[in-house]
Amino acid sequence: MFTSISFSICLISFFYTQTQGPPETTLTSPLIAEITVDHPLFLFTCNVLTSDITKVKNQWDSLNSNLKPFSALWLDLGPDVIADPGRTEDLLNTAFQEFQYPFILKIPQIMDKNICPEHGELASLFARFPNMLGVSIHDFTMNIYPSKQSGITPDYSHVFWLSKLVQLLASYGRFLYWSMDSLEWAYFFTNPAGEPLFRTMQKYPDYVIPAYRYNGDNAFVGLGEMLGLYTLNIVNRFGIVCHPTWYHKNYIIEPCLFGKSPEGAISIYSPLYRAMILNGVLGGALVYAFEDENALWTGKEQVHWDKAILPTLQEIISTNLIPQKNIISQRINTSFQFFPSSDPLDFQQNLKEIDSQRNEGKMIQIIYGDMFNGKLPLLIPEKGSSYIIPILPSFLTKEETNLLPNIIGYRASLPEWTWSQVLSNTSQPVGEGTAFILSIGKNIFVFNSNPYEYNQQTFQLLNLPAPVRKFSANRSADGVVLKWQFREGDISYQVYRRIPPETSFQLLTRGLDAREWKDTFILPQQTVAYSITALTSEQEPFSGTVNCGEYLTFSSVESRIVEEVVLAPETFVAESVPIIQSTALTTEQTQCNNPDEGLEITQKEQTNQIIRTMEMFESAVIGRNVESIINLFDVSCKDSAGRGVDYIRGIMELFLSQCQYPKIFWRIRRWLFITTPENQTQVKMVAFLRIKGHNISDSLGIKSNIPIEILAGANGETTFTWVLQDNQWKIIQIEPSLFDFRQLNHFFTSPYSE
C-alpha cells in the first residue's frame, strides 16, 4: 500500500530571502530571491503516490510556460507521515534529490497532539532544506469556550503551539500560510483566549499569510476580515483558497438545478473559479490557492483550468489587476470591529451584523444586498456601490484602530449608528444597472451577481477609455506591419495577438509612442489576429449585459479590445473589423427549470395557487410559526412512513425551538396531475426542498452554531401531493418522509457535531 502525498505547485511572483535563522546559523539559497510584496502567489494542488515522485516533474513540465518562472511546491505528506519526523525527512530527500524547487509543507491536523509535529522537528527540517519556505495549517479553530455551568475549561494548547511556531518561522525567515473560513476567523478574532496568538501574529507581519477559504458563507465577510488585517499592517499580505466543496455542501449542481450532484459530475460551475479569484483581486489578495487537483491543467475536470483559472491568472499577471495597499486605503472610509465573545451567546452579537445565514446579518442585507436572504452562499453581492468593509479583531485598542477611519462596533464611546447610515457614507456608484459594479484603483469590475440562476443583468459605464478602431495589417517578407490612426488624447499603445483557434489575446508589447509596429515573429503560413489598445484620455460610454457566470474587468486608463484584424496565409492586407460578442442566453440557459411547460391553462392556474401556498409555507418557517405550517396540511396527511400531522407538528416545534433563524430553500422540478376514482384532482409537486438553521450552542455551551437540517431523500427531492379543500390547497401526502426525527436527533447528540 502506498502513502498518498499531495504536492501543491505554487506560482510565485515573490520569493523569500532566508536572511534570518537561529542565532547560530543563517540560511541562504540561490532558489529564493528577495521579498517583494507587490506581486501574486498562486498555489496548485498535485496528488502523487510516494512511488511516483516523477509525477511532480511531469506535471511541472506541462505547466503553462509563462507561469513557470514563478513556481514552488506545496507538499501534503498526510498525517501519518507528518507524525513521523524521520519518515518526513526521508520523503523530502526523495522528492528533492533531482530537482530543488522551493516548497512549503502542509501540517494537516494541528488540533491533534498525536500528529502535530514538535517545533524542534520542524526546525531540523528548516536547517536541512533551505528551499523549504514555510508551513501551512488548515484546521485551526477557536470555536471552543469555557463552561462554568458544566465546569469545563477548554484545552487551548493548539493556540500556544501555533504562537511558538510563528516565532520559530520568523527566526528562520520562513512563513506560515494560515487558511480558514469567515466564521473560523471570526471565532479567533473575538475569543479572548486567542489574543496572545493574535499579538504574536501582529509582531511578525512578514511571516504570517492569512487566507480566506471559501466555504459557502458570505464571501465578502471573509474578505473583509482579511482586509482588516492587511490595511492595519497586522500582516503584509493575505490570500484566498478556491475550492468546490462549498458548492456541493449547498446542494448546488449547476445554475437552476439543486440536489445531490451525480457521480462523475463536473465539480463546480466553471466560471465560479473566476468569480472567486476576482473577489480576492478586489480586496488586494496576493496569494491564490486551488485545492482541487481535478480542476487543474492535468486534472479530469481540466475545463475549469482552461476556461476560468488559467485565463484569469494570466490576466492578473499581464494587466496588474491587484490594487496596492495605498489604493485600497484611499477607497476605505469605514470599518467594523467585532464584539468580544466569551461564550456562544456573546458571539451572536457579531453574527447579528455579519451573517445572514445564522442570524440577521444586517451588514449583508444593507451594505451588500442578499437576494437569497441567507438561503444560499453570498458569492457576489447584489450591490457594488460600497467597497469591502474591513472587519477588525476585537482585541485592537482604539489607538491601534486609528489608521482606519470611522470604526464602528461595540465601543461605548462611539455615537449611535445604523448600517443605512454607513451605506450613505460609503456608497460611490461608478455605473448604473442591475449588475454588480465596483471600482478600485484603475480597474472597474462588472459581475453578474446571481450565480445560481440563468439570467441577464444590465450595466452602463459612463466614462471608459475609447477603444482603438480602424487599424490595418500588412504582411511583408519578414513579418506583419500594423498601423493605426492618430487621436489627440492617446498617450501610448499596446499590441495584442492571438493565433486561432485560440480565442484570447496575448500582450506582445506595451508603451509604444509611434502608431506603427512590426511583428517579426510570425510565420507566413500562420493565420494571425491582432488588436490595439491605448492609454488614453479619450472617453466614451459603454453599456451591455452580463449573463450568469460572466465576470468582466475594465481599465479606467487603457482602452478595451473591440476590433481585430485577421490575416490568413494567403492574405497580405486587411482592415480591422468589430469583434462580435454574443450577449444572448444560450438554449440551455433559457431552459431554466420551467415545470409548467406543457400544462393546460387551468392546470397552470392551479399550480400558481399551489406556488402561492408554498410561499406561505416559506414565510411560516422563517417566521417560526408552527400553526401556520400545520395549517397547510390536511388532517388526513401521512408521510411515506405512515406518520401524521401530530408527528409533523412535534418535529417542527423541536426544530424551531433549536433554531432562531431558520431558512427554507425550494425549487419545483415538475408537476403531475391525477384524477382519482372519486373524480378528485390531485396535484403531485416534485420539488427540491431544504430547511436549515443553526443552534446557538451545543448542550454544554462550549461550542457555537451547531447546524440543523431537514432534507428529504438522497438527492433532496420530495413529492408533495396536494388536494383542494374548501378553496384551499392542502398537502395530503409527502414522499419520501420529509420530517425525520432521527435525522434531526443526529445534530443534538454530540456537542462537537458538524
Give the pLDDT of residue 16. Answer: 36
Nine-digit cell string for 222: 471573509
The pLDDT assigned to 28 comes to: 35
Neighbours of 376 (CB within 10 A): 20
Residue 353 and residue 304 in one domain: no
Q: Does 667 lie in the same domain as 586?
A: no
The arithmetic mean of pLDDT across residues 679-706, rounded, is 91
Three-state DSSP state, 518: strand
Let me know: does 295 contact 631? Beta carbons within 8 Å. no
Most confident segment among 10-19, 66-75, 151-160: 151-160
How many folded domains does the chain comprise? 4
Q: What is the pLDDT of residue 629?
A: 94
Long-range interactions of 323-326: CB distance < 8 A, separation 24+: 323/281, 323/284, 323/440, 323/441, 323/443, 324/38, 324/284, 324/441, 325/230, 325/231, 325/284
Are 446 and 250 spatial neighbours (Cβ–Cβ below 8 Å)?
Answer: no
Residue that the C-alpha cell 417560526 belongs to: 624
pLDDT number for residue 714: 66
Contact in structure between 248 and 272 (CB atoms under 8 Å): no
DSSP 50: G
Q: Is the pLDDT of residue 181 over 90?
A: yes
- Report the half-sphere exposure of 445 (CA within 13 A, side-chain side): 28
Note whether 646 and 503 are same-domain residues.
no
Give yes or no: residues 55 and 90 share one domain.
Answer: yes
Q: How confident is the model at residue 65 (pLDDT cuts 50, 70, 90)?
A: confident
What amino acid is encoded at 199 in this protein?
Answer: R
Per-residue pLDDT averaged across 319-332, rounded?
Answer: 92
d(CA 507, CA 95): 36
User: Which residue did the predictor score with more confidence, 260 or 157?
Assistant: 157
- Same domain? For 568 and 613 the reply is no
Q: What is the pLDDT of residue 502?
A: 87
Determine how many CB atoms are found less than 10 A away from the CB of residue 245: 15
Kind plus residue range of the DSSP H or E element containing 209: strand 208-213
User: Is the confidence at residue 89, as pLDDT, over 50?
Assistant: yes
Tens-digit pLDDT profile for residues 645-661 = 998 899 899 899 989 99
Q: Tell me, what's the pLDDT at 183?
A: 96
pLDDT of residue 704 exceeding 70, the answer is yes
Does 14 lie in the same domain as 138? yes
In a domain, 430, yes or no: yes
C-alpha grid cell, residue 396: 485592537
* Distance spanning both ends of the chain, measured CA to CA: 31
Identify the bridge partners of residue 534 per DSSP, sorted by sequence position. 493
514-546 pLDDT, tens per residue?
999 999 998 888 999 999 999 999 999 999 999
Same domain, 106 and 209: yes
Q: Calculate the CA dihedral of residues 664, 669, 671, 676 and round it to 10 degrees.
A: -70
Q: Which residue, 285, 311, 330, sits at the end of a domain?
A: 330
pLDDT in tens, 552-575: 999 999 999 999 999 999 899 999
Whether 752 maps to a domain, the answer reads: no
pLDDT of residue 5: 43
Within 8 A by CB and 6+ apart from 426, the residues are 333, 334, 367, 385, 386, 387, 389
Average pLDDT of the chain to the nearest whole number: 86
Name which residue leads in pLDDT, 265 or 565: 565
Q: Is residue 503 part of a domain?
A: yes
- 715-749 burial, b if ≥16 CB within 10 A, otherwise e? ebbbbbbbbeeeeebbbbbbbebbbbeebbeebee
pLDDT band at 248 (very low <50, low <70, confident <90, very high): confident
Q: What is the mean pLDDT of residues 61-89?
A: 80
Q: Is residue 10 part of a domain?
A: yes
Name 180's bridge partners: 212
Spell out the residues 6+ positions from residue 153 whose beta carbon is closer than 8 angstroms to its own: 146
85 within 8 A of 19, measured Cβ to Cβ: no
Q: Residue 544: its pLDDT value, please?
A: 95
Nearest to 277 by CA among 269, 267, 268, 287: 287
Using the 3D structure, point to which of 330, 359, 390 is the last residue of a domain. 330
Helix (H) or strand (E) holding 391: strand 391-392
If you search the block for the grid coordinates 435525522, which residue do you land on?
A: 743
CATH number of the domain residue 9 falls in: 3.20.20.80
| Same-domain status, 307 and 431 | no
Position 754 in a domain: no
586 pLDDT tier (thresholds 50, 70, 90): low
Q: Model's pTM, two decimal places? A: 0.91
Most confident of 325-329, 412-416, 583-587: 325-329
Percent of the chain with pLDDT over 90: 58
Dihedral sign of CA atoms 186, 696, 664, 735 in order = positive
Q: What is the mean pLDDT of residues 494-503?
A: 93
C-alpha cell read off for 521: 515573429
Phi, then psi, of 179 in degrees rounded to 5: -110, 135
The answer to whether the beta carbons of residues 435 and 457 sit under 8 Å apart is yes
- Summarised one tens digit per residue, pLDDT across range 371-421 is 999 999 999 999 899 999 999 999 999 888 887 767 776 554 566 778 888
Does residue 282 share a domain with residue 346?
no
What band does 148 get if pLDDT is binned at 50, 70 and 90? confident
d(CA 133, CA 103): 6
Q: Is the pLDDT of residue 1 over 60?
A: no
Residue 107 has pLDDT above 50, yes or no: yes
Final residue of a domain: which of 273, 302, 330?
Answer: 330
pLDDT the model gives residue 24: 35
> Grid coordinates representing 30?
540561490
Q: Say what the pLDDT of residue 409 is.
A: 63
CATH of the domain at 552: 2.60.40.10
Let me know whether 609 and 498 are in one domain: no
Alpha-carbon gap, residue 352 to 375, rounded angstroms: 16
Percent of the chain with pLDDT over 70: 88
CA nearest to 88, candidates 46, 31, 126, 59: 126
Please say if the pLDDT value at position 274 is more than 90: yes
The beta strands (E) that lie in 50-171 are given as 71-76, 103-107, 132-137
Residue 445 lies in a domain: no
In a domain, 539, yes or no: yes
pLDDT band at residue 746 using 50, 70 and 90 as cut-offs: very low
Tens of pLDDT, residue by residue over 722-732, are: 999 989 999 99
Arithmetic mean of pLDDT, 441-447 = 96
- Strand order, beta sheet including 443-447: 436-440, 443-447, 551-555
Question: What does the pLDDT read at residue 27?
Answer: 33
Angle between helices 85-95 and 119-128 (to 10 degrees): 20
249 and 367 share one domain: no
User: Residue 589: what pLDDT?
Assistant: 55
Confidence of residue 112 (pLDDT cuts 50, 70, 90): confident
Same domain for 372 and 297, yes or no, is no
pLDDT band at 679 (very low <50, low <70, confident <90, very high): confident
For 446, 490, 495, 534, 562, the CA distances from 539, given in Å and listed in that order, are 18, 10, 20, 11, 14
pLDDT for res 34: 36
What are residue 445's phi and psi, to 5 degrees?
Answer: -115, 130
Q: Quick check: 548 pLDDT over 80?
A: yes
Indicate the pairing of strand 431-432 with strand 573-575: unpaired
Q: Tell whether 545 is covered by a domain.
A: yes
pLDDT tens across 595-626, in order? 888 899 999 999 999 999 999 999 999 999 99
Adjacent-strand bridge partners of 464: 540
Q: Which three cell numbers stand for residue 327?
A: 489604493
> Which has the closest alpha carbon to 525: 570, 485, 575, 475?
570
Q: Is 93 exposed, middle or buried (0-12, 13-18, 19+ CB in 10 A)?
A: exposed
Helix (H, G, I), strand (E, B) or coil at 350: helix
Segments forming the whole domain that contains residue 114:
4-330
Q: What is the CATH number of the domain that holds 628?
A: 3.10.450.50
User: Which residue do the cell numbers 406543457 mark?
Assistant: 598
- In this prediction, residue 740 carries a pLDDT of 63
pLDDT of residue 32: 36
The backbone torsions φ and ψ at residue 297, rounded to the nearest 5 degrees and listed phi first, read -70, -20
